[in-house]
Amino acid sequence: MPVCGLSRLISQTIVCVRVTGVDLILVWSEGRAVACERMCPHEQADLSLGHLSGGRLFCPRHAASFDLRNGRISYGWPSRPLRLYPVRIRDDQVWIDADAIRSPAN
């Protein structure tokens, strides 16, 4: 399903979306779109208030960071990886596979 215009994502870099009742964020990082869960897997901080640097998303609460290629949390944090979801760009829109959100792989 289409969830956001590509130009809006590029200009805002982090956009909140809701897909099949699940809160996600879209991130524009290093020239590509990434979709991930909105709440930090450590203590549920809102990652839409975080910041991006070097291909990583930094949590606003404790400053752990997540690799946006694979979701891995920075060294030393006892949390699972950030859930990432497949996205596609088509017709200047960012699309998310709703089935992947209903049954996440990680």
CA-only gyration radius of the chain, Å: 13
The sign of the torsion formed by the CA atoms of 60, 71, 18, 43 equals negative
From 19-27, 30-38, 41-49, 80-88, span contacting ligand FES (CB under 6 A): 41-49
**Residue 52 interacts with ligand FES (CB under 6 A): yes or no:** no
Closest CA to 70 of 103, 93, 41, 36: 36
Interacting residue with ligand FES among 1, 10, 12, 43 (CB under 6 A): 43
**Residue 61 interacts with ligand FES (CB under 6 A): yes or no:** yes
**Residue 72 interacts with ligand FES (CB under 6 A): yes or no:** no
Sheet arrangement for strand 84-85: 14-19, 22-29, 32-37, 84-85
From 1-9, 23-31, 55-63, 88-96, span contacting ligand FES (CB under 6 A): 55-63
**Residue 62 interacts with ligand FES (CB under 6 A): yes or no:** yes
Distance CA 69, CA 91 (A): 24
Give contact residues for ligand FES (rule: CB under 6 A).
Answer: 40, 42-43, 45, 59, 61-62, 64
